[in-house]
Structure 1
Amino acid sequence: MSINFSRGRYAPTNPCSIPLCKLDKNTAVFPNLFTQSTPDKCPQAYIAREERVYAIGDIHGRQDLLEAMLAKISDDIARFSDDRRPRVVFLGDYIDRGDDSRAVLQTLSGIFHIADRLKSETNLQIDFLVGNHEVALLEFLKNPITSSAWLDWGGLQTLASFGVSPTTANAGARDFQRVRDQLAEKLEPYMGFLEGLPRTVVSGKVVFVHASLDPACSLDAQPDEATLWGTPPSGRAMGMPGMRMVHGHFAASKPVSRPNRICVDTGAYYSGCLTAIRLDESEAFLSVTSADLSPISGLRQSGGGSAFTV
């Protein structure tokens, strides 16, 4: 499916211009997306009995926080001695807005390319989902003129991280093509990672997705409006009957946990806080903040090696 990002119903010209409203004292979300029904009354849904799943929210170019979170999850995995298999799910929106999208892609694509070895040698399963910002980038590479709105959604910061001279959304066609060509060359090592990322993964009765699900559609026929943008075409409240949804996309000051959904996007690029959740027979949020970062970055932790290396 090809999306024209310059106009249409998939996203506003400036997504950040949509007014926020308070859903409760802890959460600011886009209006009307969580308030059209009362899906919180659905039964509690659980992760697969054999798994312990960590889901990481929107990273948005914060390599420093990503490194700290990987170290924290590595330490957390090492604490357990039961037979649950560790699984890590990245919920998308790895790039844009923050200052170091290139380093984030380098880290994640490196893990992506050794994921099979990690699973066979350490039993750690890793899943990467696509977010709307990755799709916007790929659309820009296909047609930089019709998809130039990506530049205003954090694409300029991504260009800077790759050393590509910026342009503006009202630049001429020749300049858009220059930017596209330079960026495509820089992105070549990461295209194997970026292309073909799934929209959803499932563990037990829990669905992981970047933004939302449309209950009017089956899980294998979810529209991009829902999974990437959080605007289900049916207009019904987000979620899937009988299942719990874990998602990002909707930044809030604190993570949200409800019987039908969990949101772990805490606006890392502006708040300095990256959040994940651990799900097994219970749930626990894990967070890292700019204040937690040590002068020495990397994937070190107190226990020694990282779970994300072989």
Structure 2
Amino acid sequence: MTDTSDQGQVADAVKGNWVDTHAPAPMRPYLRLSRADRPIGTWLLLIPCWWGLSLAVAATGFRPVTIWLALACAAGAFLMRGAGCTWNDVTDRDIDASVARTRSRPIPSGRVSVRQALRWMGVQVGMSALILFTFPPIAIGLGILALVPVAIYPFAKRFTWWPQIFLGLAFNWGALLAWAAQTGALGWPPVLLYLGGIAWTLFYDTIYAYQDVEDDALIGVGSTARRFGREPQPWLRGFAAATAILMGSAVLVALPLLPALVGLAGLGAMGWHMGWQLARLDIDDPARCLALFRSNRTTGLIPLPFFAAAALL
């Protein structure tokens, strides 16, 4: 049941992406299942890892293993995002078939069976485990524990208006894991960074959810977009403020004053970018919502050169 033609593109994929244009035809349905044709999710999973790692380096110093950790986080984010999306599509296959934006996904469109999807998920998890087992024991434990929010998230929309919280719990776990892998311990800085990342996820995924608010209402599943209705701006401003405050607190706790000021400058620039998104938001324009959601790759990358500069200080 593999797609051997050039058909099968997913509706919200990036146009001209490498999966649709260059991947071997038999692999395309599986790569689409992993959202490899929509790389923004990998970035949003990876960025908190690099936040945790770069802030840990700024706080405790560079070590030779740091380069490996940065590369391993990138590979692990790609694989675990793919595994999580595969699990999400298995659990949501009936819902996806009822939503215009998602009915072209590989399972509801019939290009991949549930059994094939589960096998593909196992391959991705297994490859991720090989990477994780090169990390220190505390990071390995955190990596295994991360499977809990990943497993729960697809069901959250069925019992709460706030599934974005569960997404945030899963997507920002890398801030804890990468800090622990670099330092061999946990502490308040990675916890505050993690909480700030959750607030950021609430910000960007609420914007994303406005694409599906009408379909979600018809199906009867929850989202923050449905909860906030026509007035999301006060909530989104609150999430942006919480992101800045919590991440800024992490920087202040982790670093001496001068490096901390450099890190805070990066967070100020990140906050400006979130404000720019709010100024452009139109909840009645799904294309605008998707474009703003994707722009959060830039939002999350903004602090990294400032954290790197803080490390040099």
TM-score normalised per structure 1: 0.26
| TM-score when normalising by structure 2 | 0.26
Which one has the bigger helix percentage?
2
Which has more strand, going by share of residues?
Answer: 1
Q: Which structure has the higher relative contact order (CA within 8 Å, separation 6+)?
A: 1
